[in-house]
Structure 1
Amino acid sequence: MEHIISVAELADVPDGTAILDVRYRMGGPPGAEEYAKGHIPGARYVDLDAELAGPPGAGGRHPLPRPEDLTAALRRAGVGRDRDVVVYDDWNGWGPARAWWLLRWAGHRRVRVLDGGLAAWKAAGLPLSTEEPAPGGGDFTAAPGGMPELDADQAAGLARRGVLLDARAGERYRGETEPIDRTPGHIPGAVNAPTTANVGPDGRFLPAGDLAARFAALGAHPAAEVGVYCGSGVSGAHEILALAVAGIPAALYVGSWSAWSADPTRPVATGPNPG
């Protein structure tokens, strides 16, 4: 199944498709209020911080939720075992990408991200709704293990023997600034590949061939061992999605820099990309 869906395709999806509104802005308030002002008809709001992540702690700012908690959240959102799922937002696609990755990690294979998000939907002149569907109706049960993941030691090892991509902005990777986490810098051996370069000005993903060329220039290709991290496992999921569009499998270090930098025993590198 394709990983992204166009507005035209979403406008023609069969009844029964679960549409999830995953509005999320890093450091901003939950998107529930914006959802209430207008959303794609039939969509249900899912809170990334509260439902698509566990409580912050040693595992980072957005650790994996407990499977039973994820199951309950997805059932409230109407996600079924055999129902297609489409996820979207109104910002940069990070929230939907996290939902896409998490659903696939939990064993759901029929999930796609709306390319261009709510902006593309509005640009096509399609309607919004303020009606909130009643919660429930889902029968999906989370069964972890559907997507590869890394812990800190595995991420460190992959940076030495394969390709570990850092999806954060260049200034955070280089250690010039760190607005959120304890220590600036990056995992030694990681290569910077900002998530923002995966999309064009309209927020849509670059063509698969362009993405493949971008990642190949960084050493990531289908035959390579590839991992990704970011600040807390959200924008990194967007990078995993872009890699999937390009046909490159990759593992996600969910704890990412928020977990790595919180451990004073972990080494920290600064400066530009190697080479």
Structure 2
Amino acid sequence: MKRSMKLVTITVVFLLLFSLAGCSSSKQGVNSSSDSAPRLTDQAMEGYYVDARWLQENLDQVTIVDARADKEYKKGHIPGAVNISWQALSNMQPKQGEPGWGVVLSNEQLSKKLGEFGINGKKDIVVYNDPAGLGEDGRVVWMLRVAGLQNSRMLFGGWPAWQKAGGEETKSIPQIKAVSFSITNPDTSLLATTEYIKANKDKVKLLDTRSPKEFTGKTDHGERVRGHIPGAIHLHYSDALNADGTVKTVDELKDMFAQAGLKPGDEVIAYCTVGIRSGFMTVLLRMCGYENAKNYNASFSEWAGDPNNTIEK
């Protein structure tokens, strides 16, 4: 009888241990999805990027900006994120092809707009989008840095990386409290204009970040004519991305830029259709030590809008 009771006890203990092991395996299975999230391992990128794990740990300490379109934001976003599209901080009054279409707002207007979004520059800012877009996170960070907000960075891998990390999602729209903000230290070195390019065309290197078909004039994004600015080097902005939407390492980017004929000391002026893709690429160039990199914000739309400007195909 005692032996029988002992066998029963051993069996119960074994079953309990097996059950606990099963629970432990199940829990690890849940965490394995977050372990697959992209991690930021390149320290040279830390001034421009944070990863999803870091953001999860510092969620309440930063201002989060969702740079996606409003309809995507409403489907689900990071808790507390404010939806700020590139258009919200740009001059959308002119039509495409007209001077000034889509360029970053003046310092006075930009100060007011950022204040309306609750941004006063005191908190670090993390911007994210979907890498399947056109580099909108880079364009927004570029505008924030033009406004002197050097504490603005992007989310490594964007929205998909947040989802892979098991980050919380919400459809709740945060209540924005407007603040007073004034740009006191703008960084105009990030910006190039049509006039500047014409005056310095023999000193700068133009970088066309559009698709190969746009560069060769086989297609367009609404510009008056097709082609590219004479002498421009072509490097598609998406070449800077890995298959999972994360940005390549700084060493890989440096090699890519070097192969395109760009040197760190060059004054590189990137452009696209209206400074979105090129804004993203300008931020990456700066991250890689190209301290004279600029974004031609008005880009090919304004260049092609003037019939007096020469265009190549």
TM-score normalised by length of structure 2: 0.78
Unaligned 5+ segments in structure 1 are 24-30, 271-275
2:113 aligned partner, one-letter code: A
1:47 corresponds to which of 72, 85, 101: 85
* Number of the residue aligned with 1:2: 47
Counterpart Cα distance in 2 of 1:95 and 1:124 = 21
- Which range is displaced more, 90-99 or 221-230? 90-99
Q: Distance in 1 between matches of 2:164 and 2:127?
A: 18
Structure 1 stretch 227-236 or stretch 75-84: which is displaced more? 75-84
Task: State the alpha-carbon separation in 1 of the partners of residues 276 and 136 from structure 2.
Answer: 7
CA gap of 1:54–1:65, structure 2 versus 1, over 3 A, is farther
2:302 to 236, 259, 262: 259
Report the equivalent of 2:41.
Answer: none
Q: Which runs of 5+ in 2 are unaligned?
A: 1-45
Larger radius of gyration: 2
Aligned residue for 2:94, secondary structure, equals: coil
Determine the structure 2 residue equivalent to 1:150: 192
Is 1:65 the counterpart of 2:105 in the alignment?
yes
Q: Which amino acid aligns with 1:88?
A: Y
2:65 maps to a residue whose letter is L
C-alpha separation in 2, matches of 1:121 and 1:182: 39
Q: Measure how far apart 1:143 and its partner are.
A: 4.3
SS at match of 2:122: coil
Task: Kindly provide the amino acid, as one letter, of the partner of residue 89 in structure 1.
Answer: N
> Per-residue deviation at 1:10?
1.2
2:209 maps to 1:167 = yes
Larger helix share, 1 or 2: 2
The CA deviation string for residues 32-88 of structure 1, in whole angstroms up to 9 with x for no partner, is: 222122100110111322334442343354112133332232223221222100111
> 2:160: which partner in 1?
119
Deviation string, structure 1 residues 99-130 (Cα, Å, up to 9, x no partner): 10101101111000111111110011111012
CA RMSD of aligned residues (A): 1.9
Written as runs of structure 1 = structure 2, the 5 A alignment for 1:113-262 is 113-143=154-184, 145-148=186-189, 149-249=191-291, 250-262=293-305
Residue 219 of structure 1: how far off its partner (Å):
2.1
Once the two structures are TM-superposed, the CA of residue 3 in structure 1 deviates from its matched residue by 0.9
- Mapped partners of 1:268, 1:97: distance in 2: 27
1:144: how far off?
6.8
1:26 equivalent in structure 2 = none
- The change in CA–CA distance for 1:53 and 1:6 in structure 2 (over 3 A counts) is farther
Distance 1:211 1:44, change over 3 A: same
Which is further off, 51-60 or 203-212?
51-60
Distance 1:52 1:210 in 2: 32
Is 1:96 the counterpart of 2:141? The answer is no
1:15 matches 2:60: yes
**How far off its partner does 1:207 sit?**
0.3
| Aligned match of 1:269 | 312
Secondary structure of the residue aligned to 1:18 is: strand
- The amino acid across from 1:36 in the alignment is K
Give, as a single letter, the amino acid of the residue that structure 1 aligns with 2:148. Answer: G
Q: Normalised by the size of structure 1, how large is the TM-score?
A: 0.89
- Residue 273 (structure 1) aligns with: none
Secondary structure at the counterpart of residue 161 of structure 1: coil
